[in-house]
Structure 1
Amino acid sequence: MTSKPRLQLALDHTSLDAALHTAERLHPYVDIIEAGTILCISAGIQAVRALRERCPQHTLVADLKVADAGATLAEQAFAQGANWMTVICAAPLATMASAQAVAARHQGEIQIELFGRWTLEDAKRWLDLGIRQAIYHRGRDAQASGQTWSKQDLDIMKALSDMGIELSITGGITPADLPLFKDIAVTAFIAGRALAEAADPIAAARQFHSAINDIWRG
C-alpha cells in the first residue's frame, strides 16, 4: 500500500447520469472512484464501464458486496474496467477464492467488506487466499442510530492492520475523524455524501486531503 491514505469517492446514486455528473466534477480531486452498491443495483454493471470511460486513470472499485457466484461476478466487474471488487465477509471461502482467482488474472484485487460477524481467524484465511484488502464499514443505519467510532472499532482495525490487512474505512467519515486512524494501515478513506452532497464538494475534497497530509507527513 502507499504510505499515505488515499481519498475514495463513493457514488451511491440511484441515477447513473447523476453519478457521472458527480464523478466529472470531483475526479480531479479524488484518488479512487467507487461504483457503489446502490448505483450498481440501480444502473447495472454498465455503471462501472461508464465510469472507466470517463475516468481512465483512476483506481475504480465495483462495490458489489458479492456473496455467491464469485468468479462470474468478478469476471463481470473486471471486464467492465474495475480494478477492485468487494466481497462480503459472510461469503464462503470458495466464493472468495474464485473471485480472487479472477481478480489476479485481471491484475485486480478483492476487498472483503466487513459487516456483521467475522473473526481475526477469518481474516487469516482471507490472507491465505492472497486477499490483502478489507473495508471497515459503519453502515448507514448504524450512523442514523448514532453509532460512533469506538475504541473497540479502533482496536479491531489495529489488529487487522498488524496482520497485514490494508484497510479502507467508510461510514460518515469527515476530516475531523481522521486523527483517530493515524496508527492504522489505511489504504483509503471512503466518502460518499460528505463529498457529493457537500455545499462545496471540491472544497470538501480539499479538506480531506489537507487532513491526510497533516496527519501522514512524509
Structure 2
Amino acid sequence: MPRSLPMLQIALDNQSMADAFKSTRLVAHAVDVIEVGTILCVAEGVRAVSELKALYPDKIVLADAKIADAGLILSKMCFEAKADWITVICCADINTVKGALKTAREYGGDVQVELTGYWTWEQAAAWYEAGIRQVVYHRARDAQAAGQNWGEADISAIRRLADMGFKVTVTGGLALEDLPLFKAIPIHVFIAGRSIRDAADPAAAALAFRERIAALWG
C-alpha cells in the first residue's frame, strides 16, 4: 500500500488581508493547508480565518494562534470562525491544551501543539496521553536569522516524535533543498512561507515543492 504523501502548507504571515489574498490567489491551487499565520492573526483577527475559509472551503484552514492560555475561549473563537485546525504553544499548561482539544472535538477540528521554544519529552508524553496527535516542529524565525541550519538533533527529534505516534508538521525557513533531510520520516505536513510567498514565481515554487515531495515520498 503506498505511503501517504506529506501535505504542503502555505504560511500566510502577511500583515494585511489584501496582501494575504495576493498570495492565495497565486498558490492556493497548489497547497493542501492555508495557514493564517500568527502575524496575520494579530493584524486582522479571526476574520482572516473566516474570510479565507469562505474563499477556499475545500482547503484545510489553520489558525496559528499559538494559544498560551484561555484555551477554551480562544479555541472557540477560532473554530467559530471556521478554522479546521488551531495551534497551542508548547509552554501552555496541560489544562489549556486539554481545553483547546475539547473545543476542537466539539467543532470537528483538531489541535496542533507548536514546538517553538523549550519543551520536554515528558510534556510530549502528556500531550499524547491527553489526546493530542499533531505537533509542529518549528525551527524558530530568530534561530534562522542567526544562521542556525537544520541539524541531526532536529532530525532525531522529529523521528522520535513520529515514533511516539504523532503526526509531525515541519516548518522553519524550509527550502526545497532541505526536503531530502526528512525522507526517511513519515512527515504529515511541510510548511513553506517565505520560500513560496517571496519567490519570483510563487505558483511555480509551490508546484516545485509538490513535485519534490512526490518524488521523495511517492
Q: Normalising by structure 1, report the TM-score.
A: 0.97
Match of 2:12 in 1: 11
Per-residue CA shift, 1:6-52, capped at 9, x if unaligned? 11000000011110221122110111100000000011111001101
Partner of 1:97: 98
CA displacement 1:74-121 (0-9 Å, x = unmatched): 101111111100000000000000000000111111000002221112
Following the alignment from structure 1 to structure 2, what is the Cα–Cα distance between the partners of residues 215 and 3? 11
Q: 2:71 corresponds to which residue?
A: 70
- Match status 1:20 vs 2:21: yes
CA distance, structure 1, for counterparts of residue 183 and residue 122 of structure 2: 24
Q: How much identity, in percent, do the aligned residues show?
A: 45
Letter in 2 for 1:194: S
For residues 120 and 13 of structure 2, the distance between their equivalents in structure 1, rounded to whole angstroms, comes to 28
Do the aligned partners of 2:113 and 2:135 also contact (CA within 8 Å) in 1?
yes
* Equivalent-residue separation in structure 2 for 1:116 and 1:25 (angstroms): 32
Q: What CA RMSD, in Å, does the superposition of the two structures yield over aligned residues?
A: 0.9
Bigger shift: 32-41 or 114-123?
114-123
Deviation at 1:185, TM superposition (A): 2.3
- Distance between the aligned counterparts of 1:68 and 1:185, measured in 2? 31
What residue ranges of structure 2 are gaps of 5+ in the alignment? Answer: none
Q: Distance in 2 between matches of 1:51 and 1:177?
A: 29
Q: Is 2:143 aligned against 1:142?
A: yes
Alignment partners' CA distance in 2, 1:16 and 1:172: 22
Instruction: Name the count of aligned residue pairs.
Output: 216
Whether the 8 Å contact between 2:7 and 2:189 is mirrored in structure 1 is yes
Cα offset, 1:203, TM superposition: 0.8
Task: Work out whether residues 67 and 74 of structure 2, in 8 Å CA contact, stay in contact via their aligned partners in 1.
Answer: yes
Structure 1 outlier segments of 4+, above 6 Å: none
Give yes or no for the alignment of 1:44 onto 2:51. no
CA contact 1:6–1:31 (8 Å) conserved in 2: yes
Rounded Cα–Cα distance in structure 1 between residues aligned with 2:208 and 2:137: 22
Q: Is the contact between residue 61 and residue 85 of structure 2 (CA under 8 Å) also seen in structure 1? A: yes
In structure 2, the residue corresponding to 1:186 is in which secondary structure?
Answer: coil
Superposition TM-score, scaled by structure 2 size: 0.97
Q: How does 1:34-183 map to 2 (within 5 A)?
A: 34-183=35-184
What is the identity, as a one-letter code, of the residue corresponding to 2:162? S
Unaligned runs of 5+ in 1: none
Please give the alpha-carbon distance, in whole angstroms, between the structure 1 residues aligned to 2:186 and 2:99.
26
In structure 2, distance between residues paired with 1:157 and 1:35: 24
For the residue of structure 1 that corresponds to 2:117, the secondary structure is: coil
Structure 1 CA distance for aligned equivalents of residues 130 and 25 of structure 2: 36
Q: Distance in 2 between matches of 1:213 and 1:178?
A: 11
CA contact (8 A) 1:24 1:54 kept: no
Who is 2:31 aligned against?
Answer: 30
Letter in 2 for 1:88: I
